[in-house]
Amino acid sequence: MKVKSRHVAKHDDADAWRQRAEALFGEDAARLLEGKMEEAETDTRQRLVLCGGEPVLFFVENAVFATVRGALRMSTPRRCVVVDSGAVRFIANGADVMAPGVVEADPGVAEGDLVVVREQAHRKPLAVGRALMPGSGMKGSRGKAVKTLHYVGDRLWTVEL
């Protein structure tokens, strides 16, 4: 995937993205949005927000959320699902998150919310996805817990700027 157009973000757009990030991630949003903000579009029509030349936000169905690179800038437990080490290799290859692999989930996550999937040992982000069940019910359940939308090593991760 390559960036086909890129421009400095309008002030109103940048403010809206900051407000959305603060609502989702709290004080960590300041770390997420450091640097000059730009809006970019890829050859696959994926819209991105770049900060300091790095894709930190992306648009999912008219909502904006952190990319895995953006999540690397933050340490917040908000909007997060933590998986055990046995799930890491599957998720890093694009698999959905299965509930038996979930060791911790933000109880504030509702079904349909966008979440960051982190690994248990170092709390590093592996993926971004949509919750298929509430966070309070993920641990100890069966079935799919999170539908993966973007993961380490995918086309968005390796986007050419």
Same domain, 109 and 137: yes
Same domain, 50 and 84: no
Question: Nearest-CA neighbor of 95 among 106, 104, 105, 86?
Answer: 86
Same domain, 42 and 20: yes
Q: What is the pLDDT of residues 74-115, one digit of tens each?
A: 988 889 999 999 999 999 999 999 999 999 999 999 999 999
pLDDT for the residue 62: 81
Q: Which domain holds residue 55?
A: 3-72
Alpha carbons 140 and 135: distance in angstroms, whole number: 11
Same domain, 85 and 66: no
Token pair, residue 149, equals 């939308």
Number of independent structural domains in the chain = 2
Q: Is residue 68 part of a domain?
A: yes
In the chain, the N- to C-terminal Cα span, in Å, equals: 9
Question: Nearest-CA neighbor of 156 among 49, 28, 15?
Answer: 49
Dihedral (Cα; 128, 132, 137, 143), 10-degree rounding: -100
Q: What is the pLDDT of residues 55-69, one digit of tens each?
A: 999 999 888 999 999
Same domain, 16 and 62: yes
Strands 80-83 vs 114-119: parallel, antiparallel or unpaired: parallel
